[in-house]
Structure 1
Amino acid sequence: MDKVEQKKPAQFNVLPKIINGGIAGIIGVTCVYPLDMVKTRLQNQTIGPNGERMYTSIADCFRKTIASEGFFGMYKGSAVNILLITPEKAIKLAANDYFRYQLATEEGKLPLPRAALAGGLAGLFQIVVTTPMELLKIQMQDAGRVASAARAEGREVKQFTAMDLTKKLLRERGIMGLYKGVGATGVRDITFSMIYFPLMAIVNDKGPRKSDGSGEAVFYWSLMAGLVGGMTAAFLVTPLDVIKTRLQADSEKEFHGIVDCVQKTLKREGVTAFFKGGLCRIMVVAPLFGIAQMFYFLGVGEKILGIEQRKSV
């Protein structure tokens, strides 16, 4: 039987993609948030003059956090993350599909350089939401670490809510206070997306397809494609994530930009510091994107709106 020639779809429906991205983000982040908390605390801890550190491993961080803050302490800062993850993932996933559609040839083909460009543009668009979301999340997570250390020394530290931190940042710096570390966030997210989306699409295209005529991969293959793409991209951009995390958690104004953060971290802690929390980051990002990609491709948005689901470019 002759192979049917694939052509570029006649139109691109944005709304169902946004719905899919929002649902995918909420489910994904709820599943992996405790690991993200541990990742942030491991990346942001510094080594004392005698080599002492608060957490010695992923398991140790889990144990100490639950012991001092309870199980729900693992979800500190999650409310703002879950609230903002809806537009963040909606923008990221839908924008990637949109730019892939726009950059595809009339035959529906998307060369690798164009696929990387589509991913990079999606990463660029998402930082409008990602930067304030992660800034508040990281400062909430780190506030819990500081409070735990203070309690261990017999001191009490005032607990701040996400709204308290938002008001404080707006009062001290205006709207740009919510965009602290935006440069580092942009570098990380654009690089991540340029690696993740083309790799995920390549793996996803190799798997078995659904029997509904949509041309999409079966759900477990989409999950695997997201896992492989997320794991690879997460590992490669871990140094950029460490820099971003430290800049956003820097309440003492120790660092004066990306270059200064790199130089001081390298001088004090060596190259290995740039891979702090790397394993934990992979454990967070791989399932986050695997789960999110799987739910994104399920086509819930198309079902809600009564639109026929077609294979993405």
Structure 2
Amino acid sequence: MDFWPEFLASSWGREFVAGGLGGIAGIIAGYPLDTLRIRQQHASKGSAITILRHVVSKEGPLALYRGMGAPLASVTFQNAMVFQIYAILSRAFDNDVPATYPPSYKGVALGGVGTGAIQSLILSPVELVKIRLQLQRNVTGNKYSSIHRGPLDVARSIFQNEGLRGMYRGLTITVLRDAPAHGFYFWTYEYMREKLHPGCRKKGQESFRTMLIAGGLAGVASWISCYPLDVIKTRLQAESSAKYSGIIDCFKRSVREEGYTVLWRGLGTAVSRAFVVNGAIFTAYETALRCLYTNNNNQATIKTENTM
């Protein structure tokens, strides 16, 4: 009974819960655009609007949310861990900064790189399942029917046919993508919120507008920095058979067959989604953190008064 009050009384407990709530907000806000991005990356042609019309007309609007169960089920834990790991590493890489001050931009960037590398271990299998669900379509007459019933069915199929190694297909490129991308991500957010609201990094009193814009720009910066790697990752994880022998083979064959523009296919969709999703993530995260701190302080005050 006393677990939650004690958990939320700790700094890392509040960070964990706020990060989880931020992740949920981000998934709900941007999942349809994520589905369009994945389909653009895997297809050989077609704009976002063309693919959107095709999906809605042939498979129905709910197809845009296919596979959301996998990231939504894990996103609370994953995003909570990301913010918690980042909070620890950004301090660990910058011991000279007092605890009462925000970490330096160097600590922010290095903490982000470390966070991206670590969270890839959790994210890689989840994204594999999500991508397989987003891309699956089986034509029966004039109708599209699902091959797999949901995330667990996909995971079971991958494990049975490809083993544990198959569940981690694309892990290396996920680490190569996420480590630098998270460095850009956290650095851009901290830098932009300070520019938009000077002094807010120390006082923590920025407006919702600042959170939305800084979070959105952080997402855009991180995606632009890693997008070609994300295209290769999608293609590697989309194939259950060994179509590509590895990252280099996938890169060479994709460029040879479709040109260098393939490495940026779907960027517009990804950037639009990134702004929406990460604006929602940071706004939900910062808002939840404030509420948790305020609620905890009020409870502490009441407890002190009752003791007296």
TM-score range, shorter chain: 0.7 to 0.9
Residue among 193, 201, 215 paired with 2:204: 215
Residue among 263, 273, 281 paired with 1:284: 273
Question: How far is the alpha carbon of 1:218 from its aligned partner?
Answer: 1.8
Q: Point out the more displaced range, 298-307 or 287-296.
A: 298-307
Question: How far is the alpha carbon of 1:299 from its aligned partner?
Answer: 3.1
TM-score normalised according to structure 1 size: 0.83
Query: How much identity, in percent, do the aligned residues show?
Result: 24
The C-alpha deviation readout for 1:8-54, integer Å capped at 9, x for no partner, is xxxx82111110111111111111100000000010013xxxxxx4x
Question: How far is the alpha carbon of 1:172 from its aligned partner?
Answer: 2.6
Structure 2: how far apart are the matches of 1:251 and 1:32? Answer: 26
Q: Indicate the SS of the match to 2:244.
A: coil
Q: Which amino acid aligns with 1:31?
A: A
2:58–2:144: 8 Å Cα contact kept in structure 1?
Answer: no
Structure 1: how far apart are the matches of 2:49 and 2:215? Answer: 25
1:87–1:129: 8 Å Cα contact kept in structure 2?
Answer: no
Question: How far is the alpha carbon of 1:151 from its aligned partner?
Answer: 4.2
Residue among 72, 75, 78 paired with 1:88: 78
Structure 2: how far apart are the matches of 1:259 and 1:269? Answer: 15
2:91–2:107: 8 Å Cα contact kept in structure 1?
Answer: no
Q: Which amino acid aligns with 1:278?
A: L
Equivalent residue, structure 2, for 1:106: 97
Structure 1: how far apart are the matches of 2:182 and 2:145? Answer: 41
Distance 1:154 1:229, change over 3 A: closer
Q: Indicate the SS of the match to 2:196.
A: coil
Q: Indicate the SS of the match to 1:206.
A: helix
Unaligned runs of 5+ in 2: 1-9, 299-308
Equivalent residue, structure 1, for 2:251: 262
Residue among 65, 89, 101 paired with 1:75: 65
2:21–2:288: 8 Å Cα contact kept in structure 1?
Answer: no
Runs ≥4 in structure 1, deviation > 6 angstroms? 152-157
Question: How far is the alpha carbon of 1:153 from its aligned partner?
Answer: 6.8
2:97–2:104: 8 Å Cα contact kept in structure 1?
Answer: no
Equivalent residue, structure 2, for 1:247: 236
Equivalent residue, structure 1, for 2:119: 126
Alignment length (residue pairs): 286
Equivalent residue, structure 1, for 2:173: 184
RMSD across aligned C-alpha pairs, in angstroms? 2.6
Equivalent residue, structure 1, for 2:56: 66
Equivalent residue, structure 2, for 1:37: 35
1:255–1:261: 8 Å Cα contact kept in structure 2?
Answer: yes
Question: How far is the alpha carbon of 1:68 from its aligned partner?
Answer: 1.4
Equivalent residue, structure 2, for 1:117: 110
Q: Indicate the SS of the match to 1:299.
A: helix
Structure 1: how far apart are the matches of 2:53 and 2:297? Answer: 48
Q: Is it true that 1:135 corresponds to 2:128 in the alignment?
A: yes
Question: How far is the alpha carbon of 1:160 from its aligned partner?
Answer: 4.0
Distance 1:45 1:177, change over 3 A: same
Q: Indicate the SS of the match to 2:147.
A: coil
Unaligned runs of 5+ in 1: 1-11, 47-52
The C-alpha deviation readout for 1:159-212, integer Å capped at 9, x for no partner, is 44221211112223333322110011111111210111111101112233899x
Distance 1:124 1:154, change over 3 A: closer
